[in-house]
Amino acid sequence: MNKNFLSIVIILLAVAIVIVNLWNPLRSSDKKDITNRGNAPVSQESDDSKKTLGTDLSEVQEGNPAPDFELTTLKGETVKLSDYKGKKVILNFWATWCPPCKAEMPHMQKFYEENKNKNIEILAINLTSMDKGDSEIRKFVNNYGLTFKVLLDSEGTIGSQYQAYSIPTSYILDSNGIITKKIVGPMDEDMMIELTKNAK
C-alpha cells in the first residue's frame, strides 16, 4: 500500500515539474510584452505565419502605404482611411481597460486641439471586439473630452491587420498615406509633435 502511494506521489511530482517547465517560458515572454514602454498586451504574435485573417502582415511596415479600411464612428458615420489622403494622420489603437491608453489620451486630445487646423488628423481605433461595449466606450470618450474621431473595430480585423498585439499601438502616416513610424506604447504630446513634424 505504501509503495503504491509513493509511486503515485512520484508520478504526480514528475507531471508537476513538466507543467512548470512548459509554463515558465510562456510567462517570461508575457513579461517582455508588458515591459515594452508600458503597453498592455492584447495577444501574442505568431512567429509561424506572416498572415493573419488573410492579411499579409509585411505590408504594414514603415515606408509602405497604410492599407485602406472603412469603420464606423460612435455617431454611426462611416470613415475610410483613404478620405484623409493629403493630411498627416495618427492611427491609434486602444481600449477603455488599458491603463497606458488612459495615460496617453489627455496628451492626444491636447495635441489634437493645437494641431487640427494644421492638416493633421487623429483616428483613434477602439478594439471594440475586446472592449466592454459601446456604453463604456461612450463614457470613456465623454470623461476624457475626446473630440477627434473614435472608430469602432467591432470585428477586430483592423487591429489584427495593423498588428495591434499590444496597446496602445500607433502609426504615423504622412500626407501621402505612407507609414513613417510605428510606436508601441503610449506617446506624449512632445513625441506626437516630433513624429508628425518628421512626416511629409
* Domain 41-198 in CATH 3.40.50.11030: no
Better-scored residue on pLDDT, 51 or 87: 87
Better-scored residue on pLDDT, 26 or 164: 164
Each residue's pLDDT tens digit, 40-54: 766 544 443 344 444
Place of cell 458615420: 77
Q: What is the C-alpha separation between 137 and 140, in angstroms, rounded?
A: 5
pTM of the model: 0.75
Q: Residue 197 pLDDT more than 80? A: yes
Which of 69, 89, 84 shows the shortest CA–CA distance to 172?
Answer: 89
Q: Could you tell me if 128 and 152 are in contact, meaning their C-beta atoms sit under 8 angstroms apart? A: yes
Cα 4 from chain centroid (whole Å): 53
Upper half-sphere CA count for residue 195 (Cβ side, 13 Å) = 23
The total of other beta-carbon atoms located within 10 Å of residue 160's CB is 20
Q: What is the C-alpha separation between 28 and 113, in angstroms, rounded?
A: 40
Q: C-alpha grid cell for residue 184?
A: 508601441
Confidence at residue 169, expressed as pLDDT on a 0 to 100 scale: 98
Q: What is the C-alpha separation between 65 and 148, in angstroms, rounded?
A: 23
Q: What mean pLDDT value characterizes the chain?
A: 84
Cα 25 from chain centroid (whole Å): 24
Residue 178: pLDDT band (50, 70, 90) is very high
Q: Per-domain residue ranges for the chain?
A: 2-35, 41-198
Place of cell 495618427: 90
Q: Could you tell me if 81 and 89 are in contact, meaning their C-beta atoms sit under 8 angstroms apart? A: yes
How do beta strands 55-56 and 70-73 pair?
A: unpaired
Each residue's pLDDT tens digit, 106-147: 999 999 999 999 999 999 999 999 999 999 999 999 999 999
